[in-house]
Amino acid sequence: MSRAIAIITGTRAEYGLLSGISRELKGQGAAVQLIVTGAHLSAAHGMTVDAIEEPIAAWVDMQLQGDTPLALAHATARATSGIADALSRLKPDLVVILGDRYEMLAAATAAFLLHIPIAHIHGGEVTEGAQDESIRHAITKLSYWHFASAQAHAARLRQLGEDPARIFPLGAPGIDNLAQTPLSREQLEADLGIALNTPVALFTYHPETLSPMPVEAQIGAILASLAARPDITWLITGANAEAGGMAINAALEHFAQTHANAIFRMSLGQKRYISALHACDLVVGNSSSALIEAPTLGKIAVNIGDRQKGRLRTPTVIDCACNTASILAALQKALDPATRDAATPSAVFGTPGTVCAAIARQLLALPVPHQPQKAFHDLVKNP
């Protein structure tokens, strides 16, 4: 009998990382049960469920009715209930969860209370400027197995008391998408409806949910910086469904409508996003892809603000504060020929085209406990 593995996804970006694992699991004989929730089912965030091209076992509508903290807390409660119902019906052998968002905290809570062991991907990382930081570590403690994207993250999981025997530093699954053949520059221009005149910047900015700086001030400083560089072609994608995300998206969309050198798409979709990543000259904003996929390609990234503070860095990442002067200085440095000439691809997150298969093999080899129990693994034994 094939192993039944539930994969839970709530956003376009996260599904882009999980789809390769799903594909590999099916290729290796697993019965994948895809559970879709979160922004996938929100018209305001592009209804990205429409881009999913594999069977869906359960739809869990969180009824995202705004992005205030209270609205997200209520939506998380609905997700916990709905995912619990789905897991109770599907009865998977294990659940796969990726990342650190509130939808995944709901999924982890439901699976944990139903005694279904959890395999968590991308644990052990640090993002001090967002609530994701605490959520990620909470999911770690609810999870039985851990798939770390780098050795440094595996070490942090051990610090959190996780057993080294259940930690697998196999790399970041998203880099496998980089091995796909991208759209040609001409195809991408036709798809997006804009000439990709160099330099081209791929821009994504998510709310800093722990920042004392109001979202309006954050996006105001950023848009002033973008407006000050009309020589750059800006490919702008939407913010996540988080507190302040709607205000950011409205401002970005208005900017693109009033600047001929910019376009805004709520979601590019996986193929177009990866193609844009190949075609661009730099990545700007505060998305994790600027610190993982971009360095793997050797692309320069300008990381704005503190959302990704503490995350593993490569030399291709230029950090700057969320103010116009700092952003403009970082853009200038990023486009300096000397900076670009010194940029080289990084292998710290693995080798593109190999990570998802390795994770799938490990998932299928895991001995699944009937009642998952964990002991805290002390780095130093108490006397």
pLDDT for res 46: 79
Rounded to the nearest 10°, the torsion over CA 295, 300, 305, 306 is 20
Determine which of 80-84, 245-249, 335-339 has the lowest per-residue pLDDT on average.
245-249
pLDDT for res 34: 97
Structure-block tokens of residue 300: 């320069």
Cα–chain center distance at 244: 18
Structure-block tokens of residue 232: 């750059």
Q: Domains of the chain: which residue ranges?
A: 4-172+350-365, 179-342
More confident residue, 174 or 383: 174
For 128-152, the pLDDT digits (tens) are 888 889 999 999 999 999 999 999 9
Phi, then psi, of 237 in degrees rounded to 5: -110, 160
pLDDT for res 383: 63
SS3 content of the chain, % helix, strand, coil (to 5): 45, 15, 40
Strand order across the 200-204 sheet: 262-265, 233-237, 200-204, 282-285, 300-304, 317-320
Class of domain 4-172+350-365: alpha beta
3 state DSSP class of 1: coil
Q: In CATH terms, are 4-172+350-365 and 179-342 the same topology? A: yes
Pair type for strands 282-285 and 300-304: parallel
For 82-112, the pLDDT digits (tens) are 999 999 999 999 999 999 999 999 999 999 9
Largest CA distance in the chain: 67
* CATH T-level topology, domain 179-342: Rossmann fold (3.40.50)
Nearest-angstrom CA–CA distance, 319 and 306: 9
pTM to 2 decimal places: 0.88
What percentage of the chain has pLDDT greater than the value 90? 81
